[in-house]
Amino acid sequence: MGAILETASGPIGGRDRFPWSILSSLSIGPQSEHACRTLDHMAGFARSLKTLKLEVFYEKRNQNCESPKRFLLSFDTLVYLELQNYPCPVQAIAQHTQLVRLCLHSTESWNPQAQRNVLSKEDLEHLDAHCPHLEYLELDIERQNDDWPWDILTTLATVFDHLRKLTLHFHLGNTRNPQMPVLNYHSAQEIRNVFYKSRQAAFERYPGIHTSEKARAEPSSTSASASFLSKLERLTLKTGFEKSLRRYPDPYPRRAAWAELHTVTFELRPPKTAIEKPEFTHLQRQELEAIPDRRAVDPAYYKKLKKMVDAAVEGP
């Protein structure tokens, strides 16, 4: 009997008997106890995948698991890749040069000193050079020396020419040690301004040239059109509590309540013209303002949402 391949929906058959050539999409997790072993069994067989989603509960993650790396290096056909709580070097990801969607995200630890694996400036440039078709990107980002990682933010702004949507997850911290600086109305707009100005400057300097070539190109004497801004539809900044990939509730309810209170999502859309300002949307506030009559919703829910909106203005 061949090896059994476990997925989110259970066994999919023996390795030697499975029709691998017709398998175009695969999702594993988050409850799989043997995901790393499953990927090793599939390496070298699943060579036609277009979509791959790997996720595991935060409590079950294995930082030393190299199976995603080995599996990704065994083929090169992916268009969509999502890795949640799985470490993987950028070189293995960049093997898939036709990628359009990429999500690399890890659930935040309650330990404020714990750093998530994030991409460096060099990683981003490597990914841009090898995956020029990326349109949707979701990444974790960490602060540097108690400041925003401006080198990472400006690099993100000046690479990935075809980018349409970029989502960044920021570490929140906990009640005793909130991560500084905090993500709030002021800092979100500061990040927005730097990001869009950097992107505009890069494309005006080298219009029509892929970012991987800009370092060795001469400045253009002509002005770039705003086409790069029309492609980039949205920059999303997120921080706070995530339940989806936590198997167990936090043993300290007060800490979980604090994290939920300071959960925030900002959507920042680029200006439509050179004289307009970028759009700024706080999704929790938008949800609150969309309630026509507070008497029509659960009072506890309305109160919690109102507190979240008020807390987001200044942050933790």
Computed over every residue of the chain, the mean pLDDT equals 85
CA dist 109 and 126 (Å) reads: 28
Residue 25 has pLDDT above 90, yes or no: yes
CA dist 96 and 99 (Å) reads: 6
- Residues sharing a CB contact under 8 Å with residue 229, sequence separation 6 or more, in sequence order: 196, 199, 200, 270, 271
CA dist 69 and 160 (Å) reads: 23
Number of structural domains (the chain) is 1
CA dist 207 and 228 (Å) reads: 9
CA dist 268 and 233 (Å) reads: 9
Chain centre to alpha carbon of residue 27: 18
Read off φ and ψ for residue 265, nearest 5 degrees. -130, 120
Q: Which domain holds residue 250?
A: 4-314
pLDDT at 57: 87
CA dist 123 and 89 (Å) reads: 9
- 278: pLDDT confidence band, cut at 50, 70 and 90? confident
Query: E-assigned strands of 247-290?
Result: 264-269, 279-282
Question: What mean pLDDT is predicted for residues 125-142?
Answer: 97
